[in-house]
Amino acid sequence: MSSTTVATGAALRPRTTTATDSARVRWGRRFQHGGWFVAPFLLLYALFVILPVVRGLYLSFTDANISGDHTRFVGLANYREALHDPLVWDALWHSVRFTLEVVPCIVVVALLMALIAHHVTHLKWLWRLCFFAPFLLPSAVVGNLWKWLLQPTNGMINHLLGLNTPWLTQKSTALLAVVIATLWWTVGFSFLLYLAALQNIPQHLYEAAELDGAGPFQRMRHITVPNLRAITGLVLALQVLASLQVFDQAVVMYDFGPGPEESTRTFVQYTLEQGFTSYRVGYASAISFVLFVIVATVALARMWLLRHREETAR
């Protein structure tokens, strides 16, 4: 048999496809179909998110200042200092306290607003617009608006309630003022989620329950609330993650200060003070990564609970 015949037979023999080849073909087809569409986003995401995060992580192990001169590697010194810094713990407590106060209020008020907008028969569009419109305002507008509304002498809130409370100048009500402003500003987003979930509940469930003699409270307890459990978990997760990072409205309402007796200084605000007021960029980066770990832990816990619930329901 000649060498030409052997080569021809080898060429005609079907090639065995390995798992690596199959995976390569699969990923090639996926990239061919959608890769070029997401490539610009991935490039911008890497440029403006991943690279700054990596850069910040590196700076957290240095004593970098805002000028970037004479940077030295200090290891875990910034993190050790943060753990022993009382102002870090105070700022963290203010953020946690704000979260504990505003998140339950948002959940309850958003659900009530969604129920109202869902059941009204006239001018539904107007109810929805009024409930959602504040969410469209910038944070600077919201902060200045509520700073005016909560003025002790000529503010609308004290005038309507017949009070003379110095909301913005006393420690006991300073953070509460931020909670009220944030509730009014952000509840519209959660309202929209609840309204969409209410519209997806099958109407025949309410009709069957009504035929069985169930009253409004029983229908709410046994039909509405169970069907809104998933969206409630989503609202809680989103609001907790957002509230832990509270910054804009608080600093605007108190003219970029920490509030009376430093009662409204949040974790993000203290981080920026260290970076842009004290010029300690390395220390500020370390503090920011402490918050990153806290937020990531909350997000991962939410994902684990959701997966556990899905596995239990199977």
In DSSP terms, which residues pair with 280 in a beta bridge? 65
Mind listing the pLDDT tens digit for each residue in 34-86?
677 788 888 999 999 999 999 999 999 999 888 777 789 998 999 999 999 99
In the chain the domains, ranked by start, together with CATH numbers, are 19-59 (no CATH), 80-313 (1.10.3720.10)
CB 120 within 8 A of CB 127: yes
Looking at residues 120-143, what average pLDDT do you find? 92
In our burial notation (b when 16+ CB lie closer than 10 A, e otherwise), range 173-182 reads: bbbbbbbbbb
pLDDT of residue 10: 47
Helix 86-119 × helix 281-313 angle, to 10°? 40
pLDDT recorded at residue 244: 93
Helices 51-59 and 281-313 pack at an angle, to 10 degrees, of: 120
Residue with the bigger pLDDT between 174 and 124: it is: 174
Q: Tell me the pLDDT of the chain averaged across its residues.
A: 87
Is 117 in contact with 124 (CB distance < 8 Å)?
A: yes
Q: Does 30 score more than 90 pLDDT?
A: no
Which residue, among 152, 169, 132, 127, has the nearest Cα to 253 in the 3D structure? 169
| Structural tokens at position 74 | 């200090």
Read off the pLDDT band of 162 (50, 70, 90).
confident
Percent of the chain with pLDDT over 70: 89
Residue with tokens 């409630």: 232
Instruction: Quick: pLDDT tens for 77-92.
Output: 999 999 999 999 999 9
Question: Which of the four pLDDT bands, split at 50, 70 and 90, describes residue 24?
Answer: low
- Whose tokens are 């309410």? That residue is 206
Q: Kindly give, in sequence order, each residue whose CB lies less than 8 Å from that of residue 213, ignoring residues fewer than 6 positions away.
A: none
Mean pLDDT for 24-32 is: 63
**Would you give the distance in Å from CA 171 to the centre of its chain?**
27
Q: With 90 as the cut, is the pLDDT of residue 310 above it?
A: no
Q: How far apart are CA 192 and CA 127, in angstroms?
A: 12
C-alpha angle with apex 255: 249 to 258, nearest 5 degrees? 80
Residues 256-273 have pLDDT tens digits of: 889 899 999 999 999 999
